[in-house]
Amino acid sequence: MNFELKSLDLAGASAQSADAFILLVPAGFKPGRDPLAALVGQALKAGDLDSQPGKLLALYRPAQAKAARMLLVGVGDGTPRQVRLAVAAALGALRGGTPAVKRLLLCFAGAPQRGALRAAVAAVADASYVYTTTKSKVEGRSLARVTLGVPKLAEAKAEFAQAAAAVAGIELAKEWANRPANHATPTDLAQAARALAKFPKISCQVLGPREVARLKMGSFMAVAQGSEQPLRFIVLQYKGAPAAQAPTVLVGKGITFDTGGISIKPAGEMDEMKFDMGGAASVLGVFRALGELEPAINVVGLIPSCENMPDGRAVKPGDVVTSMSGQTIEILNTDAEGRLILCDALSYAERFKPAAVVDIATLTGACVIALGAVRSGLFSADDALAQRLLAAGETAQDLCWRMPLDDDYAEGLKSNFADVANVAGRAGGAITAAKFLQRFTAKFPWAHLDIAGTAWKSGAAKGSTGRPVGLLLEFLLAQQAPTRSGRRKA
């Protein structure tokens, strides 16, 4: 789908050809003298249009616009969240119409708030997304071109560029997370990562079983040993700043299918365990966006990828393995495998002398119970890093919530047979999982995002959300040095 940004007041917007025209109307709208503005003013005065977010008035071939269909949509105070809700409602109203909307015009009736344009772009992309890869009869997204109109073009260019790049990244993350496990093996993920090296400043290295064995990643190898699919350890690097600038490292959990291993999961909804590589997919998505934007930062992406299967060679409850760090781990539950592959990736991250490391993982059902599908769980002992991630989530409308990391939570991880157990009890399971990972992060500022509740949707809307690509991209871009104007380059 192609996005285009234009400088359009209401008079200019009314002259644009499109299959459908969405006009976002804020509270307190004051109509000008042009016919379209007068129409909006009359509708508000008559009570036919309500400026509350998502309230809309549908018009067919109005004299005041060239578009065949027109929706006047309230956006309330025009905050990014309200704009996102309004655009989603408008796209829902257009869905299923005949003929399908291929060219959409979306305009702001007033100057958009910071972040509102990005929210509109994201909402259009999300509402129109269609997965097609493994379908025999391809009926893809009908919406092909979206023109966004704003009163002042110069002020919106940087935000628009970031929004379009974020959509490209989110949709790459959705694509790989949505693919069935037989179409998204660790080898397939490695190929997707290699494809990103076509972008300037991105390089990719893929390590196989022999290289991982030389690194002594015994914890990672233990999870992979029950599968016929060979593991892959993917190293992506984006170099947009001088080498002296310490990189931020993103570590994405890449379990391409999780049966639970010997501690096998219940059969119900096990198909959704193809989404257990949502963290890895988000790292791929972020690098896709970085390739578009080329910001002046350095970023490393690490993806340990394998399947967790109950083969005769699979690791067993009670087995003790040695991680890359040298710490021994008693595996009490083979379904707590994500932390076992992440801990070795975190140890590998030390070689980059990172400014910060953020791991992203569909790690625990406990986090779903705690936070549901609204916010991702954020864990960090570094207050400054945690605050930057929280702020990035708010700006990107990809929300997270900081959870505790008190040392008392680590008591349940003590083992009589190893340095640490991989699980504690049921209570506080998301926190004890984070405490396990924290043992491998002493040499750098670290944060953990548990996206088990936010990475995908179940039920009729089953599919990947592409989160938290938006949060991570905003977090990374905020690290750029300001330009002379005081703004940061997109």
Among the options 253, 339, 375, 467, which is catalytic? 339
* Residue 15: exposure state from Cβ atoms within 10 A (0-12, 13-18, ≥19): exposed
User: Quick one: angle between helices 278-293 and 186-195, nearest 10?
Assistant: 10
Q: Which residues are 234's β-sheet partners?
A: 206, 303
Contact 335, 315 (CB under 8 A): no
| Residue whose tokens read 């192609």 | 2
| Residue whose tokens read 């628009």 | 160
Q: How far is CA 145 from CA 31, 65, 66, 100, 117, in A?
A: 28, 18, 16, 12, 16
Angstrom distance (rounded) from CA 284 to CA 278: 10
Contact 233, 206 (CB under 8 A): yes
Angstrom distance (rounded) from CA 361 to CA 430: 11
Among the options 145, 194, 239, 265, which is catalytic? 265
| Sign of the four-CA dihedral 210, 214, 217, 218 | positive
Q: Which residues are 449's β-sheet partners?
A: 360, 378
Active-site residue 265, yes or no?
yes
| Residue whose tokens read 């992060």 | 441
Q: Which tokens hold the place of 152?
A: 């002042």
User: In 10 A of CB 321, how many CB atoms?
Assistant: 22
Contact 287, 302 (CB under 8 A): no
Angstrom distance (rounded) from CA 124 to CA 104: 10
User: In 10 A of CB 347, how many CB atoms?
Assistant: 22
Contact 109, 36 (CB under 8 A): no
Angstrom distance (rounded) from CA 291 to CA 202: 7
Please give the positions annotated as active site.
Answer: 265, 339
